[in-house]
Amino acid sequence: MPPILNNMKLWIKNGLGWGIWMFIAMTFVWPLIEGEIITLKLVIVKFIFWMLAGLIFGYIMTKFQKQRKP
């Protein structure tokens, strides 16, 4: 597999992994701790938000790591 595609898959994988973890923590765990109500609408909105945030996070971290390498 070409290195460019491999890098692209890596940042997507890392970003979505981070996004899924944040989605679970901020959609289910934190509201349970705070005693808030969890609705389907809230779950859908937060899922979209955290997946997009995860992709952005993965992309930025990959670019940041490339800059740090000599």
| In the chain, where the domains are located | 3-68
Three-state secondary structure call for residue 26: helix
Q: Using an 8 Å Cβ cutoff, are 65 and 13 in contact?
A: no
Provide the pLDDT for residue 9: 83
Q: Give the Å distances, CA to CA, from 9 to 41, 49, 53, 64.
A: 30, 20, 16, 16
pLDDT digits (tens, 9 = 90+) for 1-58: 566 656 668 889 999 999 999 999 999 999 999 999 999 999 999 999 999 999 999 9
Closest to 20 (Cα-Cα) out of 10, 31, 8, 12: 12
Instruction: Tell me what pLDDT residue 10 has.
Output: 85
Question: What is the pTM (predicted TM-score) of this model?
Answer: 0.80
